[in-house]
Structures are given as structure tokens and as C-alpha cells.
Amino acid sequence: MITLKKHSLRWLYSGLIFFVMACSNNQNFNTSKAVADSMELERNITITKNELIFFKQKIKVGDVITRTGNDFTSQSLKLLNQKDKTFSHCGIANIENDSLFIYHAIGGDFNPNQQIKRESFEIFVSPYDNNAVGIFRFDISTIQKKNLINQAQLFYKRKIIFDLDFDLKTDDKMYCAEFVYKSFLQASGNAIKFHHSFIKIFEFVGIDDITLNALSKKIEVYKYELY
């Protein structure tokens, strides 16, 4: 019974993605690669533990951490980005008791209860589940960074669930980029301005609307190598 519910949710989630894609007459979506990637059964990854440690050491409190999942849904989601289609997911980093956690909104089979997750860095960037990871840092004040973490944790404590409708107007449900976007808005008192993307009349905030923000600086992007 639980399995059926999870799979039904995933099909609904994927169906929404393709509905949005179909509405656009300006995008050339190549879903064949996404399908091929989703069907990959074995991944041999040339990355050492030290490389991940080196990447982790560059992360600071308040950084936006991005990733690209190797699953079908992630490969589809990244195509919604209007300018940079590198990443499919993002979250906010915080260091708590010397441990690095990523706060992020995610749905589907990855998160059965659909609530905002507080996940360890190692799980979030797992090379067996992702193709690439990135670090982006906003040029904001120390107070704004503190407010950012407080807001991310507040959304987490409120158990905000994933927004399958991708509706920016609702605050009781959020998708990943919306969670990051609204955390920054609250932290800055709406002082930080973000570009909004459109596919016909559908308005949303994409991952690239976060990473390409004027205040955002790319610190590191790491693409996992397969052999």
C-alpha cells in the first residue's frame, strides 16, 4: 500500500514536469538523455574521499549548495532552468556542532513525508546519486546570514511540505528553489531581488535564478567522473 502511494506521487510529480515542458514553444528539451541516465544500473565513480573533504571544507554557513541527481526526475527538472541547465536541486548549508547540514525541500520517493529536510552533507552530495555538486555564496551581511539560517530552520520546524504545483504564491508548500528564494527574501527584508522565470504564463524561480543572482558567487562546481 505504501509503495503504491509513493509511486503514484512520483508519477504525479514527473507528469507536472512534462506538462510544463510541453507548454513551452521556445525550449528544445532533450529527454532521451534523461531517460538513459535514469536507467543506468551501475555507476563507477572516480572520486576519492579526500576530494569530497576538500570540497566540504570550502563550504561556509549560508552557502547555497546545488546538485544534479542522476535520476529521471532530476534530469527533467534541470531542463526547466532558462539560462544554466547544470543543476536540478539546491539547499542552504549550516554548520551545527561541527557537522555540516543542508536544509532543502524535496518530494517524490526521495522524501516520503514530503517535509523540508535537514540532511548531512555526505548524503546530500552522494556521488552515487548525483552527477555534479556546486557551492554558491551570496554577498550579504553577517546579520543577513544569521537571519537566513533562522528562516531556513523556521521553515524546517514548520514542516513545510513539497509543492507539487510549483506555485510561488503559496507559503505553506515549497519546492527547492522556492524554499531558498523565500529564505533569502525573509532574511533580507525583501531587499535581495531575484529574477523570475516564465514558460508562457507559468511563473517560477529556477535554480539558475538563484545561482546567477547578482549577489551570488560561484565558489566551486564539481562534476563526478564516471568510467
pLDDT tens per residue across span 115-124: 999 999 999 9
29-43, 68-82, 85-99, 129-143: which has the minimum mean pLDDT?
A: 29-43
- Say how far apart CA 102 and CA 66 lie, in whole Å: 10
pTM confidence score: 0.82
Give the model's confidence band at 187: pLDDT under 50 very low, under 70 low, under 90 confident, else very high.
very high
Give the model's confidence band at 73: pLDDT under 50 very low, under 70 low, under 90 confident, else very high.
confident
Across 151-173, b (16+ Cβ under 10 Å) vs e yields bbbebbeeebbbbbebebeeeeb
Domains present along the chain, CATH in parentheses: 2-223 (3.90.1720.10)
pLDDT at 185 over 90: yes
pLDDT given at position 44? 58
